[in-house]
Structure 1
Amino acid sequence: MTSSTQSSTTSLDADPPADVDPPADVDAPVDADAPGGAEQADGASVGFDPDPAASRRLPDGHAGGGARGSGGASASGLGRNPALALAIRSWRQLTSMRTALLLLFLLALAAVPGSLLPQRNINPMRVEQYLSDHQTVGPLLDRLSGFDVFAAPWFAAIYLLLFISLIGCLSSRIRWHARALFTAPPKAPARPGRLPGGSAWESPLPPAEATAAARTALRGRRFRASATATDARRPDGTPDHSVAAEKGYLRETGNLVFHVALVGLLAAVGFGSWFGYSGTTLVVTGDGFANTLISYDQFTGGKLVNTAKLRPFSLTLDRFAATYEPNGEPADFRADVTYAPDLDTPTRQATVRVNHPLVLGDTKVYLIGHGYAPHFVLRDARGRTVWQGNVPCTPRDGMFTSTCTVKIPDAGLPPLGAQRVPQQLAFSGVFTPTTRLDPTHGYVSIYPAARAPGLTITGFVGNLHVDEGIPQNVYTVNTKDMRQLTLSGPAGAGRTAQVLALDNPGQRTLTGLPAGMRLEADSVAEFATFQVKSDPFKGEALLFSVLIILGLIASLRVRRRRVWVRATPAAGGGSTVEIGGLSRSHGDGFAAELGQLTTLVRDATVPVGAGPSTATDVTGTEDGGAATAPRGTQPRAAAADGAASRESEREH
Structure 2
Amino acid sequence: MNPSTQASELTPRQFVRWMWRQLTSMRTALFLLLLLAVAAVPGSLVPQRGVDARAVQAFFQDHPTLAPVLDAIGMFSVYSSPWFSAIYLLLMLSLVGCIVPRIGVYAKALRARPPRAPRNFARLPGSGSFTTTASVDEVVSAGRQMLGRARIDVVQTGNGTELRAEKGYLRELGNLVFHCSILVVLVGVAIGALWSYRGAVMVTEGDGFSNTLSQYDEFNSGPLYDPDNLPPFGLTVDRMIAEFHSSGPQMGAPRLFQADVTYTERPGDEPQNYEIVVNNPLSLDGGDVFLIGQGYAPVIRVTDANGEVVFDDAVIFLPQDGTYLSEGVVKVPDAAPEQLGFQGFFMPTAVSTGDDAPTRTVYPGAVNPVVGLRMWSGDLGLDDGTPQSVYTLQKEQMTEVLGDDGEPFNISLSPGQVQDLPGGGSIEFVDLQRFARFQIADVPAKSLPLVGVSVGLIGLMASLMVRPRRTWITATTSTDEAGRTLTSVNVGVLDRVPRDETPIDLDAFLRDLQQALPTSNNLKETQT
TM-score by length of 2: 0.88
- Residues 376 and 399, structure 2, Cα contact 8 Å, conserved in 1: yes
SS in 2 for 1:165: helix
Q: Which residue of 1 aligns with 2:175?
A: 255
Residue type at the aligned position of 2:421: T
Q: Which residue of 1 aligns with 2:463?
A: 555
Instruction: Say yes or no: does 1:509 pair with 2:424.
Output: no
The alignment yields a C-alpha RMSD, in angstroms, of 2.9
CA distance in structure 2 between the aligned counterparts of 1:332 and 1:224, rounded to whole angstroms: 60
SS in 2 for 1:617: strand
CA distance in structure 2 between the aligned counterparts of 1:542 and 1:571, rounded to whole angstroms: 65
**1:578-593 mapped onto 2 (5 Å cutoff):** 578-587=490-499, 589-593=501-505
CA shift at 1:324, angstroms?
2.4
Residue type at the aligned position of 1:570: S
More displaced stretch, 198-207 vs 370-379: 198-207
CA shift at 1:590, angstroms?
4.3
CA distance in structure 1 between the aligned counterparts of 2:244 and 2:41, rounded to whole angstroms: 30
Instruction: Say yes or no: does 1:458 pair with 2:338.
Output: no
Describe the superposition over 1:539-564 as per-residue Cα deviations: whole angstroms up to 9, x where unpaired. 32322222112111211221222211
**1:154-233 mapped onto 2 (5 Å cutoff):** 154-192=83-121, 195-204=124-133, 207=136, 209=137, 212-213=140-141, 216-219=144-147, 221-228=148-155, 230=156, 232=157
CA shift at 1:135, angstroms?
4.2
Instruction: Say yes or no: does 1:613 pair with 2:522.
Output: yes
Residue type at the aligned position of 1:98: R
CA shift at 1:365, angstroms?
1.4
Q: Which residue of 2 aligns with 1:360?
A: 284
Q: Which residue of 2 aligns with 1:72?
A: none
- Residues 375 and 410, structure 2, Cα contact 8 Å, conserved in 1: no
CA distance in structure 1 between the aligned counterparts of 2:258 and 2:46, rounded to whole angstroms: 25
CA distance in structure 2 between the aligned counterparts of 1:125 and 1:294, rounded to whole angstroms: 18
CA shift at 1:263, angstroms?
0.2
CA shift at 1:389, angstroms?
1.8
Instruction: Say yes or no: does 1:270 pair with 2:190.
Output: yes
SS in 1 for 2:522: coil
- Residues 197 and 443, structure 2, Cα contact 8 Å, conserved in 1: yes
Instruction: Say yes or no: does 1:518 pair with 2:436.
Output: no
CA distance in structure 2 between the aligned counterparts of 1:133 and 1:523, rounded to whole angstroms: 35
CA distance in structure 2 between the aligned counterparts of 1:173 and 1:400, rounded to whole angstroms: 58
**1:191-340 mapped onto 2 (5 Å cutoff):** 191-192=120-121, 195-204=124-133, 207=136, 209=137, 212-213=140-141, 216-219=144-147, 221-228=148-155, 230=156, 232=157, 238-239=158-159, 241-325=161-245, 326=247, 327-340=251-264
SS in 2 for 1:512: coil
CA shift at 1:380, angstroms?
3.6
CA shift at 1:538, angstroms?
1.5
Describe the superposition over 1:318-356 as per-residue Cα deviations: whole angstroms up to 9, x where unpaired. 222222234433333222222223345432222222222
Instruction: Say yes or no: does 1:469 pair with 2:397.
Output: no
- Residues 346 and 371, structure 2, Cα contact 8 Å, conserved in 1: yes
CA shift at 1:184, angstroms?
1.0
More displaced stretch, 178-187 vs 460-469: 460-469
SS in 2 for 1:549: helix
Q: Which residue of 2 aligns with 1:97?
A: 26
Residue type at the aligned position of 1:99: T
Residue type at the aligned position of 1:428: Q
CA shift at 1:408, angstroms?
2.4
CA shift at 1:197, angstroms?
3.7
- Residues 406 and 427, structure 1, Cα contact 8 Å, conserved in 2: yes
CA shift at 1:270, angstroms?
0.7
Describe the superposition over 1:612-645 as per-residue Cα deviations: whole angstroms up to 9, x where unpaired. 12232231xxxxxxxxxxxxxxxxxxxxxxxxxx
Gaps of 5+ in 1: 1-75, 233-237, 414-422, 620-652
CA shift at 1:607, angstroms?
3.1
More displaced stretch, 396-405 vs 358-367: 358-367
Alignment equivalent of 1:341, drawn from 260, 265, 273 = 265
Q: Which residue of 2 aligns with 1:650?
A: none
CA shift at 1:267, angstroms?
0.4
CA distance in structure 2 between the aligned counterparts of 1:362 and 1:591, rounded to whole angstroms: 61
Describe the superposition over 1:258-297 as per-residue Cα deviations: whole angstroms up to 9, x where unpaired. 1101101110111122222111111112111111222211
Q: Which residue of 2 aligns with 1:149?
A: 78
CA shift at 1:90, angstroms?
2.5
Identity %: 37
- Residues 230 and 286, structure 2, Cα contact 8 Å, conserved in 1: no
Q: Which residue of 1 aligns with 2:488?
A: 576
Q: Which residue of 2 aligns with 1:409?
A: 333
CA distance in structure 2 between the aligned counterparts of 1:275 and 1:522, rounded to whole angstroms: 44
More displaced stretch, 253-262 vs 447-456: 447-456
CA shift at 1:104, angstroms?
1.6
- Residues 411 and 419, structure 2, Cα contact 8 Å, conserved in 1: no
Alignment equivalent of 2:472, drawn from 555, 564, 575 = 564
CA shift at 1:301, angstroms?
1.7
Instruction: Say yes or no: does 1:601 pair with 2:510.
Output: no
Describe the superposition over 1:47-89 as per-residue Cα deviations: whole angstroms up to 9, x where unpaired. xxxxxxxxxxxxxxxxxxxxxxxxxxxxx9x955443333333
SS in 1 for 2:453: helix
CA distance in structure 2 between the aligned counterparts of 1:267 and 1:189, rounded to whole angstroms: 46
> Is the alpha carbon distance of 1:330 and 1:129 closer, same or farther for their aligned partners in structure 2, counting shifts above 3 Å?
farther
Q: Which residue of 1 aligns with 2:3?
A: none
- Residues 213 and 227, structure 2, Cα contact 8 Å, conserved in 1: yes
Instruction: Say yes or no: does 1:449 pair with 2:346.
Output: no
CA distance in structure 1 between the aligned counterparts of 2:10 and 2:269, rounded to whole angstroms: 67
CA shift at 1:568, angstroms?
2.8
CA shift at 1:581, angstroms?
0.6
Describe the superposition over 1:384-440 as per-residue Cα deviations: whole angstroms up to 9, x where unpaired. 322222221222222222221122223354xxxxxxxxx432211122222234699
Residue type at the aligned position of 1:435: A
- Residues 470 and 493, structure 2, Cα contact 8 Å, conserved in 1: yes
Residue type at the aligned position of 1:227: V
CA distance in structure 1 between the aligned counterparts of 2:492 and 2:210, rounded to whole angstroms: 73
CA shift at 1:257, angstroms?
0.4
**1:349-388 mapped onto 2 (5 Å cutoff):** 349-361=273-285, 363-381=287-305, 383-388=307-312
Q: Which residue of 1 aligns with 2:14?
A: 85
> Is the alpha carbon distance of 1:205 and 1:180 closer, same or farther for their aligned partners in structure 2, counting shifts above 3 Å?
same
Describe the superposition over 1:453-505 as per-residue Cα deviations: whole angstroms up to 9, x where unpaired. 22221222222222323332332222222222235xxxx886523232222x3
Larger relative strand fraction: 2
CA distance in structure 2 between the aligned counterparts of 1:565 and 1:151, rounded to whole angstroms: 59
> Is the alpha carbon distance of 1:412 and 1:252 closer, same or farther for their aligned partners in structure 2, counting shifts above 3 Å?
same
Residue type at the aligned position of 2:518: P
CA distance in structure 2 between the aligned counterparts of 1:405 and 1:222, rounded to whole angstroms: 75
- Residues 231 and 286, structure 2, Cα contact 8 Å, conserved in 1: no
> Is the alpha carbon distance of 1:116 and 1:528 closer, same or farther for their aligned partners in structure 2, counting shifts above 3 Å?
farther
> Is the alpha carbon distance of 1:117 and 1:439 closer, same or farther for their aligned partners in structure 2, counting shifts above 3 Å?
farther
SS in 2 for 1:184: coil
> Is the alpha carbon distance of 1:135 and 1:321 closer, same or farther for their aligned partners in structure 2, counting shifts above 3 Å?
farther
CA distance in structure 2 between the aligned counterparts of 1:137 and 1:433, rounded to whole angstroms: 36
CA distance in structure 1 between the aligned counterparts of 2:275 and 2:52, rounded to whole angstroms: 21
CA distance in structure 2 between the aligned counterparts of 1:378 and 1:275, rounded to whole angstroms: 45
> Is the alpha carbon distance of 1:138 and 1:522 closer, same or farther for their aligned partners in structure 2, counting shifts above 3 Å?
farther
> Is the alpha carbon distance of 1:445 and 1:469 closer, same or farther for their aligned partners in structure 2, counting shifts above 3 Å?
same
**1:19-34 mapped onto 2 (5 Å cutoff):** none
> Is the alpha carbon distance of 1:564 and 1:349 closer, same or farther for their aligned partners in structure 2, counting shifts above 3 Å?
same
CA distance in structure 2 between the aligned counterparts of 1:601 and 1:361, rounded to whole angstroms: 63
- Residues 285 and 317, structure 1, Cα contact 8 Å, conserved in 2: yes
